[in-house]
Amino acid sequence: MAVTAAIRRRARAVKLLVLDVDGVLTDGGMYYAESGDEWKKFNTRDGQGIARVQGAGIPVALVTREETGIVARRAAKLCIPDLHQGVTDKLVVVQALAAKHRVAREAVCFVGDDVGDLDAMRWVGFAVAVADALPPIRRVAHWVTPQAGGEGAVRQVCELILAARGKVPA
């Protein structure tokens, strides 16, 4: 999906970035070892994008239905204090995050990929779907990333937000 002037305006208004985890920060796969260990693959470039957005003063939050130590470790590594796991109603959490950070809904960006993200995406001012999101998510999104979840899609969102604010990627 092309980056239009309207999308740039929405991106420039972002003051809070909220991300789903599985299928957005990961490729959506759940990997299990014979030992019973669970693995998730995160993209380092997404982490760098998150750090750059945080450096620009935009808080980042993770909201996910799953509940794992892996996600908690990733959030800690990325210095994301707003981690919400085991969430069945993401809209309620996104609204609470907006209130906590004193951000209007128009200034909230939510990145999702699956039907559990629909209500939150319909509420925010800038709804983003990753390239491999399900069709209902793609339909409600203001913008669809060129990259798939876990493959640098979050980095693209971060770079779009920064570029819209006049900050050129390093």
* Domains defined along the chain, listed by start: 5-164 (3.40.50.1000)
Percent of the chain with pLDDT over 90: 86
Q: Is residue 120 a contact partner of residue 91, using CB atoms and an 8 Å limit?
A: yes
Mean pLDDT along residues 79-86:
97
| Each residue's pLDDT tens digit, 1-12 | 688 999 999 999
Cβ atoms 84, 75 nearer than 8 A = no
Which H/E stretch holds residue 90? helix 90-100
Q: How distant is the alpha carbon of residue 107 from its chain centre?
A: 14
- Overall pTM surpassing 0.85 (yes/no): yes
User: Could you tell me the CA-to-CA distances from 11 to 16, 21, 28, 72, 85 in Å, in that order?
Assistant: 11, 20, 25, 27, 26
- pLDDT-derived band at 169 (thresholds 50, 70, 90) equals low
Average pLDDT over residues 146-166: 96
